[in-house]
Amino acid sequence: MATPDKLNLQDLRVSYDLDVMLESNTPADPVELFQLWFNDALAHQLPEPNAMQLATATPDGTPNVRTVLLKGIDGRGFHFFTNYESNKGRELAANPRAAACFLWNERHHQVIVRGTVSKLPHEEALAYFASRPAGHQIGAWASAQSQIIPDRAWLDQRAAEIEVKFGSDVPCPPFWGGYTIQPTEIEFWQGRTSRLHDRLLYGREGGVWVKKRVSP
């Protein structure tokens, strides 16, 4: 699984002009263009380049949004990890569709990914969890994510108890794991000072990506 910090411009077979976004000079595969823009954000040392706003909805259509971190991209989609019992986890269980928005403001780039969501294999969650800092591992157990709690002291006490219980060998919680967004649409926005921005929408039609221009 390719991780965002390991995506490399040199991995791409063709170079594209980042300052001009036209149908004629963008790749046929939107994931390739995403990788190019992501690496551009890395090259310019933008803060948290893999941060994405993840939008989900309840079965009755009530929207919800929060920021999570992109942790990998491969043929299955865009990957992130979280607590299955959180609001987002419960919403995805009931309505397995989502949208994710990446904004690299300093580069005038935005990408919106829309698609269906499924869980990643538990083995991948185990491997990623093992790579996390100890504090993050303890926090995954201590936080009853999205639930109302009495106060900060309650959370700190929970974390202390978890640290005593597991020591330096914190296992992956059974309620924690990964998801992948399998994209059906990927939309690229590139800003222009005239406000006549460029928007290209890639949509899956008949199993292939079709590129369309959207008015700003």
Catalytic residue list:
195
Write out the DSSP string of 192-213: -TTS--EEEEEEEETTEEEEEE
Is 9 in a helix, a strand, or coil? Answer: helix
Residue 163 tokens read as 């640290």
Place of tokens 């994931």: 31
Nearest to 134 by CA among 101, 167, 102: 167
Residue 94 tokens read as 């009931």
Q: Determine phi and psi for 22, rounding to 5 degrees.
A: -125, 160
Q: Tell me which amino acid residue 17 is.
A: D
Q: How far apart are CA 188 and CA 92, in angstroms?
A: 24
**Alpha-carbon distances of 127 from 54, 122, 130, 141, 171, rounded to whole Å:** 23, 9, 5, 16, 11
Nearest to 179 by CA among 128, 118, 129, 127: 118
Contact at 8 Å (CB) between 107 and 44?
yes
